[in-house]
C-alpha cells in the first residue's frame, strides 16, 4: 500500500517522495519513482545536446537550475558548457565570473562575426564546467538584432563549435519571451521549464508553451519539451503539494519526478559564487540536483 509522505519516510533530498514497505517509492504526485542509475562514465565527449532553461516568469529557479544541473552533470564526468543568456549575468556570477571585468562576453559572440566561441569561453573552479559569461552589454543585442538577417538563429550559429567538445550545453534564459529567448529556443534541442511551487506558478505557462510551439513550427522542428521541474517546494505546506498536483493534471508526465526543495542553501551558494555541490556537497539540495541530473540522463535529455 502506498503510504503518505512524511518527514520520516521521504527519500533524502527529494521532497514529496515516500518510501513504501512493499513496493517502489512514490514521487510527489504518487507515481512510482524509478531508481535512476549513476550515468556510465564517458571516455570521449560530444556530440552535445543543448538544453534551454526557460520561463518568462522571474525568480523561478532558472539560473539556480542551470548552475547546479551543470555542476552535477560535471560531477558525473560530463563536459558541460553553461551559456549565460541573461543580461543580468547571474549565472556568470554564480560560477565565479565577475561580469564587470569581462573583455568579451556572449554579446560579442553573437554580435561580432570575428569573435569565436573559444575567445569567450572560460573555465570555472568546477572540473568539466565551462561558462560563456554575460553582462549588461547583452541587453543591447535584443534591439540591435531586430534588423539582422536570420536574427533568431545567431546563438545557434555561434554555439555550433561547442557541439563536438561538450556533452551538454545549458542556456540560462532571461525572464522574457523576447528575441534573446527565441534565439535560445532556436539553438536548443530541448527546453526545461522550472516552475516555482506557488499559487500563480501556472500563470503564463500557456503562453510559454505557445511560444515553444511557434519556434518549433517556424524555426526548430525538433525542439522538445524535456520536462517541467517543480522548484522551491516546501514540504511543510499542503500548498506546494497542491501546485505540483495541478501541474501534473495539466501536463502529465512532462512533470519530472525530481522536485527541488526550498532551502536557503541555494541563495547562500549564490553569494559564495559557487554551485551547491561544492558549497554544501552533502546538503539535501545537492542531492536533489544530482537526482535531477540522473533523471535527465535516464530520459535521454542529457547524454
Ligand atoms: N530551491 C530553492 N530554494 C530557495 N531559494 C531558491 C531556490 N532556488 C532558487 N532560489 C533563490 O531564489 C532566487 C531566484 O532564483 P533564480 O535566480 O535561480 O531564478 P531565475 O528564474 O533565474 O530568476 P530570473 O528570472 O530573475 O533570472 C535566487 O535568490 C535563488 O538563490
Ligand atoms: Mg536567472
CA of 267 to the centre of ligand 1 (A): 7
Answer for the pair 133, 122: CB distance below 8 angstroms, yes or no.
yes
Mutation pick for ligand 1 pocket among 13, 16, 63 (CB with most ligand atoms within 8 Å): 63
**C-alpha distance from residue 186 to each of 51, 119, 180, 217, 224 (Å):** 11, 23, 10, 11, 11
How much is the pLDDT for 235?
87
Average pLDDT of the residues in 289-302 = 96
Point out the ligand nearest to the CA of residue 286: 1
The whole-angstrom separation of Cα 48 and Cα 81 is 9
DSSP strands (E only) in the chain: 18-20, 23-26, 49-53, 80-85, 122-123, 129-132, 168-173, 190-196, 224-233, 255-261
Q: Whose CA is nearest to atom 31 of ligand 1?
A: 267
> Which atom of ligand 1 sits closest to the CA of residue 264?
4
Coil, helix or strand for 274?
A: coil
How much is the pLDDT for 15?
86
Q: Is the CB of 66 under 6 A from ligand 1?
A: no
Grid look-up 527546453 returns: 191
CA of 3 to the centre of ligand 2 (A): 36
The whole-angstrom separation of Cα 130 and Cα 240 is 34
Coil, helix or strand for 287?
A: helix
Average pLDDT of the residues in 207-224 = 97
Coil, helix or strand for 229?
A: strand
Name the pairing type of β-strands 168-173 and 190-196.
unpaired
Q: Is the CB of 263 under 6 A from ligand 1?
A: yes
Grid look-up 544541473 returns: 69
C-alpha cell at 276: 551547491
CA of 34 to the centre of ligand 1 (A): 27
Coil, helix or strand for 129?
A: strand
* DSSP bridge pairs for 196: 231
> Which atom of ligand 1 sits closest to the CA of residue 172?
22
How much is the pLDDT for 1?
42
- Is the pLDDT assigned to residue 302 strictly greater than 70? yes
* DSSP bridge pairs for 261: 233
**Domains of the chain, CATH where assigned:** 43-299 (3.40.50.300)
Coil, helix or strand for 96?
A: coil
Grid look-up 536574427 returns: 151
Answer for the pair 262, 236: CB distance below 8 angstroms, yes or no.
no
Point out the ligand nearest to the CA of residue 59: 1
Answer for the pair 146, 111: CB distance below 8 angstroms, yes or no.
no
The whole-angstrom separation of Cα 256 and Cα 34 is 11
Mutation pick for ligand 1 pocket among 59, 171, 232, 265 (CB with most ligand atoms within 8 Å): 59
On average, the pLDDT of the chain sits at: 94
For the question of whether the overall pTM of this predicted structure is more than 0.75, the answer is yes
SS (H, E, C) 3-43: CCCCCCCCCCCCCCCEEECCEEEECCCCCECCCCCCCCCCC
Q: What length does the chain have? A: 303
Mutation pick for ligand 1 pocket among 13, 15, 16, 64 (CB with most ligand atoms within 8 Å): 64
* 81-135 pLDDT, tens digit each: 999 999 999 999 999 999 888 999 999 999 999 999 999 999 999 999 999 999 9
* 22-35 pLDDT, tens digit each: 888 999 999 999 99
* 36-59 pLDDT, tens digit each: 999 999 999 999 999 999 999 999
Amino acid at each position: 500500500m502506498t503510504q503518505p509522505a512524511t518527514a520520516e519516510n521521504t527519500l533524502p533530498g527529494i521532497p514529496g517522495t515516500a518510501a513504501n514497505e512493499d513496493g517502489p517509492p512514490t514521487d510527489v504526485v504518487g507515481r512510482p519513482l524509478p531508481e535512476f542509475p549513476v550515468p556510465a562514465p564517458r571516455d570521449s565527449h560530444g556530440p552535445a545536446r543543448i538544453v534551454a532553461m526557460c520561463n518568462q516568469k522571474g525568480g523561478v529557479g532558472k539560473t539556480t537550475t542551470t548552475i547546479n544541473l551543470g555542476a552535477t552533470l560535471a560531477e558525473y564526468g560530463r563536459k558541460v558548457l553553461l551559456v549565460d543568456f541573461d543580461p543580468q549575468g547571474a549565472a556568470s556570477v554564480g560560477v565565479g565570473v565577475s561580469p564587470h571585468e569581462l573583455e568579451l562576453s556572449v554579446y560579442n559572440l553573437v554580435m561580432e562575426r570575428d569573435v569565436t566561441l573559444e575567445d569567450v569561453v572560460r573555465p570555472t573552479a568546477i572540473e568539466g564546467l565551462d561558462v560563456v559569461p554575460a553582462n549588461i552589454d547583452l541587453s543591447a543585442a535584443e534591439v540591435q538584432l531586430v534588423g539582422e538577417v536570420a536574427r533568431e538563429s545567431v546563438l545557434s550559429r555561434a554555439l555550433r563549435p561547442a557541439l563536438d567538445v561538450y556533452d551538454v550545453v545549458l542556456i540560462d534564459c532571461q525572464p522574457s519571451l523576447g528575441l534573446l529567448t527565441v534565439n535560445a529556443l532556436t539553438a536548443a534541442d530541448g527546453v526545461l521549464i522550472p516552475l516555482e511551487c506557488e499559487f500563480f506558478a501556472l500563470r503564463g505557462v500557456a503562453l510559454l508553451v505557445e511560444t515553444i510551439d511557434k519556434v518549433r513550427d517556424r524555426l526548430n522542428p525538433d525542439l522538445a519539451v524535456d520536462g517541467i521541474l517543480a522548484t522551491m517546494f516546501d514540504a511543510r505546506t499542503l500548498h506546494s503539494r497542491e501546485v505540483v498536483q495541478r501541474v501534473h493534471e495539466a501536463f502529465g508526465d512532462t512533470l519530472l519526478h525530481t522536485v527541488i526543495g526550498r532551502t536557503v542553501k541555494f541563495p547562500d551558494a549564490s553569494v559564495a559564487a559557487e554551485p551547491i555541490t561544492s558549497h554544501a556537497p552533502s546538503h539535501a539540495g545537492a542531492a536533489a540536483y544530482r537526482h535531477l541530473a540522473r533523471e535527465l540522463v535516464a530520459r535521454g535529455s542529457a547524454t
